[in-house]
Structure 1
């Protein structure tokens, strides 16, 4: 899930939107959603929440690119704002997920 928290440097709070994460790394992620965030018109910041290997994560992030996808949806590249401790935890969870998925 994600919420829009800022539009053009003005605080906002949208209703939660559903998103699917396709790729994730310690610094960013690729997600798909039905929502058009109109990145060509607006500078947006979001909060994104997800679970990975039994741990909930919540990050602020900035969408940096948008590509129209299938079923009238959109793919987004999100740069995550993440501290070093959480980044290390996320890396370990990604490794665990990759190991369990490759079996």
Structure 2
């Protein structure tokens, strides 16, 4: 795994964030061709450029490298298309690293949602 020195930050959830995913065949074409039904996963950590998920499903990432992830951090639903970069077998499932394409709007949106989540968690402690 390559270390990204320019990565602004990575937020690790105390409780994983629930999400759904589906594998897609062509993320760069005019139409996205679905090749799987939706599956359930948990987001372990996230940054503006990628995320780490956990699921019970084994995915052949060398064959199917694009994935659509749907989740909500604070209030707004987020739909992202990313690319698998690595996988690790765990006792009761698999962890996957997903790289997100560079998109300034999406990066800023993720940062703002994470700030809201953090503020709310700090307010609950008071």
Which segments of 5 or more consecutive residues in structure 1 lack a partner in the other structure? none
Aligned to 1:83: 103
The CA RMSD measured in Å over matched residues stands at: 2.1
Q: Which has the higher contact order (CA 8 A, sep 6+)?
A: 1
Aligned to 2:51: 29
Larger mean Cα displacement after TM superposition, 90-99 or 15-24: 90-99
TM-score, length-scaled by structure 1: 0.85
TM-score, length-scaled by structure 2: 0.71
Which segments of 5 or more consecutive residues in structure 2 lack a partner in the other structure? 1-19
Between the aligned partners of 2:102 and 2:79, the Cα distance in structure 1 is 9
- Alpha-carbon deviations, 1:32-88, whole Å to 9, x = none? 00111122x4241010100111100001000101001121x1000100125211211
Which structure has greater strand proportion? Answer: 1
Once the two structures are superposed, the pairs formed by residues 3-18 of structure 1 within 5 Å of their partners are: 3-6=22-25, 11-18=33-40
Give the total of aligned pairs: 100
Shift of 1:6: 1.8
Shift of 1:100: 2.4
Once the two structures are superposed, the pairs formed by residues 34-53 of structure 1 within 5 Å of their partners are: 34-39=56-61, 41-53=62-74
Aligned to 1:20: 42
Q: State which structure, 1 or 2, has the greater radius of gyration over its C-alpha atoms.
A: 2
Q: Which runs of 4+ in 1 moved over 4 A?
A: none
Between the aligned partners of 1:43 and 1:3, the Cα distance in structure 2 is 11
